[in-house]
A and B are shown apart, each in its own frame.
Chain A
Amino acid sequence: MKLDYILYGFGILFCLAGLAYLAAQYVRFLSEPGKLVSLLLTVALFAFLGKYFEDLGW
């Protein structure tokens, strides 16, 4: 079970690192609607992730 959590942690870290890389490289080329939708999706992503961990009992 502990190993599962460690793997989840790594998965989440890699996902966030990938997003950070994309943001650093290409956010300057995004159009204004693209930036707005990205912001909304980021907020939703962290909100759903938070709810998921809340349900897990963290």
Chain B
Amino acid sequence: MATRRRNLFLYLTIVCFFGLVVIFIVDGYMGVYETIHITTGEREQAIEPDFWVQQGRFFEPTGSASVNRDEKAFFRYVVDNRRLSGYSDQVQVSVFRSQRKIADLLAEPVSVPAFGKQELTWTVDSSEVVPADWPPEQNFEFTVVIRRGGIERKIIIFLSPRPFVPKPPGSVPLPLS
């Protein structure tokens, strides 16, 4: 009787262990995930899928990157399908400024096989986004909005201002005495 009771505890332990493993695999691993790589200047940063979950607890999650004026930001968007079935959807990328759309950068379908990945790339040329009459010494920000199905990701791009160099004072004529 004691042995049966003891074995029951062991079996229940094993059931809990496999339950944990199943939850981690089904809930934690499987699904459709996305990683956004942004290269500006000489640096590449990656926005991992958990970024949106962690940030979303407190406020609307927004990624950010900075780029020098008149330079380009290179985006690489990786859709990782960790499901038993294929995944297909439409990806749209647009540039917004003050809630107003400035340009559409990309509108492409993605079709990812089961446990496969697909990459999309695009470039944002800051010189095409900034208005021509915008003072170079002033900051400028715009938002790259990535839409995939019902999911929307926002990345704010900050444009560094050009350093203001004052003109040297011209020669002042000396008063004649």
Contacts and interface: CB of A to CB of B under 8 A. Distances in A.
Contacts of B33: 29
Contacts of B6: 52, 55-56
B20 A45 contact: yes
B122 interface: no
B23 A29 contact: no
Contacts of B31: 29
A28 B5 CA distance: 37
Interface stretch (B48-56, B69-77, B132-140, B149-157): B48-56
Given A29-B29, A29-B53, A45 B17 contact: yes
A48 B50 CA distance: 33
B29 A26 contact: yes
Contacts of A7: none
Interface residues of A, number: 25
Interface of B is mostly: helix
A19 B20 contact: yes
Interface string B3-22: 00110011011001101110
Interface string A13-41: 00100110011011111110010011001
B131 interface: no
A34 B9 contact: no
B174 interface: no
B42 interface: no
B20 A52 contact: no
Contact of A52 (B10, B19, B28, B54): B10
Given A52-B9, A56-B6, A23 B24 contact: yes
A29 B9 CA distance: 30
Given A26-B28, A56-B6, A41 B23 contact: yes
B1 to A, nearest CB: 11
B13 A52 contact: yes
Contact of B20 (A25, A42, A48, A49): A42
Interface of B: 2, 5-6, 9-10, 12-13, 16-17, 19-21, 23-24, 27-29, 31, 33, 49-50, 53-54
